[in-house]
Amino acid sequence: MTTIPAPTRIMGILNVTPDSFSDGGAYLDVDAAVAHAEVMVEQGASIVDVGGESTRPGASPVGAKTERKRVVPVVRELVARGIPVSVDTRTARVAVAAVEAGAELINDVSGGLSDPEMPRVVAETGVLYAVMHWRDGGADAAPDYTSVVTEVRRELTHRLAHLIVEGVKPEQLIVDPGIGFGKTAEQNWQLLGHLAQFASLGHGVLIGASRKRFLGALLPADAAMEDRDAPTAVISALAARSGAWGVRVHDVAATRRALDVWDHWQLGAIS
């Protein structure tokens, strides 16, 4: 009997930052952030990813105190409304504060490389942990790969092994190939085209391609940032087809429609 795999989760992006590449400054106010999160949940987000530090190319890091001040009040308000929350942070102190406020997932773009205390925090809190592929320099790293799929998979395997040795349980771990972080457009497409290589690691796979620069190359030079939402939604559907655990997006409504198409496609295939 053919069964339909678990549906792909939509992680709605909520940047409470002044300088994120797409929506910086739009949701610095707690009330505005909460209102936007509620809209994303109504549109179909399974979890809201709250971030207080931009990781776009060229962004300046912020201190843990500032990041925590931006993130924790929003996390607390969302949890009080029954909204599942992820915290997008590379800093263990911010992660602890967010989990204490009710966050159930730590989304770390550095995969634990930015803060040596992060593995301990993940192990002690027991929450889910999204481990993104990261080379020194993050989004600004040189895209120096001989075989990007092989190398990213190998480096993620090493990170997973390190985390497990540090006490993190395998069932806590989600992997993210790091689309747009120190990769060329061609390398990003290669990673997306080989998602099965990452699913074979035995953990859920999170894809964060939303509005990234390589999608802009598909559009006219004067296209608005929001015009990248259509190709993002297509990527979301194809990621779901490849068995992705989740997709991290700005435009939840467009991705929800794309995933609905894929869900009905699957139903049609077994009826």
What number of CA atoms fall less than 13 Å from residue 56's CA on the CB side? Answer: 16
Q: Which of 56, 68, 135, 248 is catalytic?
A: 248
Q: Does residue 212 carry a catalytic annotation?
A: yes
DSSP one-letter string for 192-222: HHTHHHHHTTSSEEEE--TT-HHHHTTS-TT
Distance CA 112, CA 191 (A): 21
Q: Which of 212, 213, 228, 257 is catalytic?
A: 212
**What residues are labeled active site?**
212, 248
